[in-house]
A and B are shown apart, each in its own frame.
Chain A
Amino acid sequence: MTTRTLEPVAPAPSTVRRRRSGLEKAKARAGWLLLAPALIHSVIFVAVPGVIVLALSFSEFRLLGSPDLVGLDNYVTLFSDSKFVQALINTVIYTLAVVPLAMALAILVALGLNQRIRFRAAYRTLFYLPVVTSTVAVATVWLWIYNPSSGLGNEVLSFLGLSRSGWLTDPGTALSALIAIGVWQGLGTKMIVYLGALQTISPELVEAARLDGASKWQIFWHVTWPGLAPAHFFVIVTSIAGSFQVFDLVYVTTQGGPVGSTNVLTYDIFQNAFGNLKLGYASAETMAMLLLVGVFIYLGRMTQRNREE
């Protein structure tokens, strides 16, 4: 009796293996089925374009006809193209100003919001709103704020007893005016990430340091600051990549002017590709930009590593 009832419950080891491997196969099949659309899509719309832009950068292509290979010609031309060089310098200045400024302000705001305060969610919303609103719309608003004759910007300056500014119409101030918008709009994302990191720092650790007689500054530098390290990686990478991609802002406010003072790489690429139909040359500019983003991210990581030691 007992053996008979047990038999069906415990089948021979070979059947178990066969059934399990059948199950594993079914799982793998389902996995591929679920993965296939995303894989195929990403190859066509991300990976292949990535290869195309590299190939195009070595060719001349004016959209009609087929591309002609020209070797490194496009890259050589870059160095003597004063518009490209200026766009490069402007982009680097923009990045070097926006990224550290927005990071520093974001850390300060995050430290403030990490206190036991009332209305924390309301404050957080205020600082995050510029992130979720479209750059085109907020750029239009800033265009009006920076209006030299009756904009809010000059009213504030006169209220403070300062002389009025031409803002975006003055080649000397236009890029700085855009940097201010960049900091304003980029602050919120970084603040949220830092706030998340601060909330992972254990209060016990802070209390222990305090009991050991650490001063407030020591606690900040040796407990709080290292606790922000994981957030720095994400913030540095995304904000450098993001500030190199500034386009909507420039397109709406200045179109690269006055006299090229706000021409940035993405705007120059856009103009060369779709205005002048120099797609090969624009691709070479794109590759140069990609290289520069990589170098910047690498350097940004290096400064972080040094500070941690």
Chain B
Amino acid sequence: MSSIVLDKVSDKSGVRGGREPGARTGRIVLYVLLTLGGFLMIVPFVWMILTSLKSLPELASFSWLPRALHPENYFNALAAAPFAMYFRNSIFVVVGQTLPTLLLSTCAGYALAQLPVQGKKHILNYFIVLLVVPFQILIVPLFLVIRAVPLAGGNDLFGQGGTGWVNTWWALIIPFVVSPLFIFLARQFFVSLPADLADAARVDGLSEIGIFFRIMAPLAKPAFVTIALFNIESAWNGFIWPLVATSSEDLRPLQFGLATFAQSSASGGAVQWPFLMAIATIATLPMILLFVFGQRYFVAGMANAGLKG
């Protein structure tokens, strides 16, 4: 590996490959290793798609390619459990979380970056502390908070006596309509915008709220896209919270549905791997497409978070 590392450093210095004797071999080794590594990364996905197109008896012996294609696995798998409903539920959760997140996180981020709010340094520090709290820590108490929502689910004014928001759409959406991480991300973006623009708008008589929506928000499009992409991904992939907060099938998102389907089929003798792989494909494909098309924003968002954090 060391030779690759070295070649790369000299390349960075602007020296074209081929100047040093070993450079060419180094580059070939580099391509081979990267390709091998990249192949290892996607083999599980390839194997998933290939398996999803095979028949169940075919799995008894190993082969890479299906003997005959069985695309009907996808329809049969979707019919084996209410996956269409799980899919719809996931979309509800994604949209229900992402739209308010976009509005509330950027509003707060803008206020912290550009407006003279008293003690905003402390407020920013407060959000940074919350940002570090791992979500898993909050599962038990958040469940209790949701269960104690006043006047919901048979609760009295003090949140006692009923089940509150447990097993409702509210439980899946409301705790996630704004997040410290996205407030921080939005704030970092708005800090870099010049204040003159807002001042010019003030002279024109635009209200402060108007300035945010009409002048600043349109300039912050990259921040909005980054926040939307990250949130769509985490809402779509979320599993532990729906598992804890809901019990009825009507509310079950796709990941939860896939996990229960996997377990019920594991306990019932022969596992329907082609069906499971078909559902896994359906569950991963939207995020793969989202990433391929929004790659620029994912990468910029990750790199920024890392370097500024």
Contact with A along B3-43 (1 / 0, CB 8 A): 01111111111100100000000010011011001111111
State the CA gap A30–B30 with chains docked (Å). Answer: 55
Number of interchain pairs (Cβ within 8 Å)? 322
Specify which chain A residues have a CB less than 8 angstroms from the CB of B299 in the assembled complex.
124, 128, 192, 196
Let me know if B104 and A37 touch, CB within 8 A.
yes
A213 contacts chain B at the CB level, 8 A cutoff: no
Interface residues as binary, B216-245 with A (CB distance below 8 Å gives 1, 0 otherwise): 000000000000000001001101100110
Query: Which residues of chain B are within 8 angstroms of A114 by Cβ–Cβ distance?
Result: 8, 12
Query: Which among B70-78, B91-99, B177-185 touches the partner chain?
Result: B177-185
Docked pose: A48 CA to B304 CA in angstroms:
29
- In the bound complex, residues from chain B placing their C-beta under 8 Å from that of A38 are 104-105, 107-108, 178, 183
Among B137, B243, B287, contact of A290 (Cβ-Cβ < 8 Å): B137
Q: Decide if A231 touches B141 in the complex (CB within 8 Å).
A: no
Mask: chain B, 176-216; 1 = CB below 8 Å from A; 0 = not: 01101001000000000000000000100001110010000
- B-side contacts of A142, CB under 8 Å: 44
Instruction: List residues of chain B with CB within 8 A of the CB of A230.
Output: 306-307
What is the minimal beta-carbon distance from A34 to any residue of chain B, in angstroms?
4
Query: Which of A26, A42, A49 is within 8 Å of B208, CB to CB?
Result: A26
| A47-B33 Cα distance, complex, nearest whole Å | 46
B268 near A: Cβ within 8 Å?
Answer: no
The reply to whether the CB of A28 lies closer than 8 angstroms to some CB of chain B is yes
Docked Cα-Cα span, A201 to B280, in Å, equals: 40
Q: How far is the CA of A268 from the CA of B1 in the complex (A)?
A: 40
B178 to chain A, nearest CB (A): 5
Q: Could you tell me if A137 and B145 are in contact, using CB atoms closer than 8 angstroms? A: no
On whether the beta carbons of A141 and B115 are closer than 8 Å, the reply is no
A206 CA / B138 CA spacing, docked (Å): 46
Task: Given the known inter-chain contacts A210-B13, A282-B140, please indicate yes or no for A30 contacting B41, CB distance below 8 A.
Answer: no
Number of interface residues of A (CB under 8 A): 108
A71 part of interface (Cβ distance < 8 Å) = no
User: What residues on B are CB-neighbors of A155 within 8 Å?
Assistant: 62
Grouping DSSP codes into helix (H, G, I), strand (E, B) and loop, the B interface class, with mixed when no group exceeds half, is: helix
Main secondary structure of the interface of A (DSSP, over half): helix
Determine if A28 and B116 form an interchain contact, defined as CB atoms under 8 angstroms apart: yes
By the criterion CB–CB under 8 Å, are A203 and B139 in contact?
no
Across the interface, B6 reaches (CB within 8 A) one of A26, A128, A220, namely: A220
Assess whether A235 is in contact with B8, with CB atoms less than 8 Å apart: no
The yes or no answer to A301 lying at the interface (CB within 8 A) is: no
A249 to B208, alpha carbons, bound, how many Å? 47
Question: 1/0 per residue B46-80: CB within 8 Å of A?
Answer: 01100100000001111000000000000000000
- A53-B140 contact, Cβ under 8 Å, with A30-B111, A34-B111, A41-B177: yes
- Min CB distance A169 to B, Å, is 12
Chain B residues engaging chain A, CB cutoff 8 angstroms: 1-2, 4-14, 17, 27, 30-31, 33-34, 37-45, 47-48, 51, 59-62, 104-105, 107-108, 110-112, 115-118, 120, 123, 126-127, 130, 132-145, 174-175, 177-178, 180, 183, 202, 207-209, 212, 233, 236-237, 239-240, 243-244, 255-256, 258-259, 262, 273, 276-277, 279-280, 283-284, 287-288, 290-292, 295, 298-299, 302-307, 309
Pick the 6 closest A-B CB pairs, nearest first: A196-B303, A30-B208, A31-B115, A193-B306, A38-B108, A49-B141
- Since A184-B44, A217-B2 are in contact, a sample of 18 more A-B pairs with Cβ atoms closer than 8 Å, ordered by chain A residue number, is A31-B116, A37-B108, A44-B145, A45-B174, A49-B144, A50-B138, A52-B145, A114-B12, A127-B38, A136-B256, A150-B62, A192-B303, A196-B304, A203-B14, A206-B10, A231-B307, A270-B244, A274-B244
- Interface residue ranges, A against B (CB under 8 Å): 23-24, 26-35, 37-39, 41-42, 44-50, 52-53, 56, 108-109, 111-117, 121, 123-130, 132-138, 140-145, 147, 150, 152, 155, 184, 187-189, 192-193, 195-197, 200-201, 203, 206-207, 210, 216-217, 219-220, 223-224, 230-231, 233-235, 237, 241, 244-245, 247-248, 251-252, 266, 269-270, 273-274, 279, 282-283, 286, 289-290, 293
